Amino acid sequence: MLGCESRKTDLVATYFDLPGYLAVEQKKLELKSVEATIYWSKNDKLDSAISKKVNWKDAFAPLKKLNLNKPAFQGSFHIDTTIFKEGFVVTYSAKSPKVQPTLLKLTFIEGKVAELHAEVVNSNPLYESSFRYTFVPDNKLAVSGTQKVIFGKKQEFSRTLTF
C-alpha cells in the first residue's frame, strides 16, 4: 500500500470487542433472506452447493470464541496500526502461542470493518491444527486450515460461504 504509515503499540485499552461485533453481524444475516453458495474442500476433493437456509449461529461460533477482552489477555498482544488513504488496518499479534487468536487483522474503510482475518494455531505432542478465518461483511465467511494427528496424514480443509 503506497502512502502507508505504521504504528506499533502495546496499549491495553485498544482491544476490539470481536464477539460483540460478530453477534451484530450474525443478527443482520439472520434477519435477511440470504442465499449462500457454500464451497468446501478436504485435501484434493472439492464440492459446492447453494443454500437458502444457513445456520449463522453455528457458522460464527468459532470466531465468537475469540475474545481479546478477557482479563487474562491484558497486555498479551502486540498491536500494530497501518494507516492508508482509504482507511486503516489494526493487527493484533499474540505475544505467546498459548494466546488465541495468534493473529487478528481488522481492515477498516470509512470507519467500518471491511474485512476480518483471524488465525488460531494449536499444537501439542499428539495434535497440530491451524485455522484461518476470513469474514467480509455482506460478502463471505470462510475457514481454512490443516489438522494432523501424530501418526496420521496432514489433512487440509476449507469452507467458504459467499452471500
Q: What is the pLDDT of residue 5?
A: 61
Q: What is the pLDDT of residue 7?
A: 55
Q: What is the pLDDT of residue 33?
A: 84
Instruction: Report pLDDT digits (tens) over 2-51.
Output: 455 655 544 444 578 999 999 999 999 999 988 999 999 999 999 999 99
By the 8 A CB rule, do 163 and 139 touch? Answer: yes
Domain ranges of the chain: 5-162
Q: What percent of the chain has pLDDT over 70?
A: 91
Q: What is the pLDDT of residue 50?
A: 97
- Number of Cβ within 10 Å of residue 3's Cβ equals 7
Q: What is the pLDDT of residue 23?
A: 97
Burial 40-75, CB ≥16 within 10 A → b, else e: beeeeeeeeeeeeebebeebbeebeebebeeeebee
What's phi and psi for 13, nearest 5 deg? -80, 5
Q: What is the pLDDT of residue 15?
A: 75
Q: What is the pLDDT of residue 3?
A: 56
Instruction: Report pLDDT digits (tens) over 103-124.
Output: 999 999 999 999 999 999 999 9
Provide long-range contacts, Cβ within 8 A and 24+ apart, for 138-147.
138/163, 139/163, 141/59, 141/60, 143/62
Q: What is the pLDDT of residue 72?
A: 87
Across the chain, mean pLDDT equals 91
Tell me how far apart the alpha carbons of residues 89 and 66 are, in angstroms, rounded to a whole number: 18
Q: What is the pLDDT of residue 74?
A: 87
Q: What percent of the chain has pLDDT over 90?
A: 82
Task: Provide the 3-class DSSP secondary structure of residue 82.
Answer: strand
Instruction: Report pLDDT digits (tens) over 48-64.
Output: 999 999 999 999 999 99
Q: Is the pTM of this model over 0.85?
A: yes
Q: What is the pLDDT of residue 9?
A: 47
Cell 498479551 sits on residue: 76
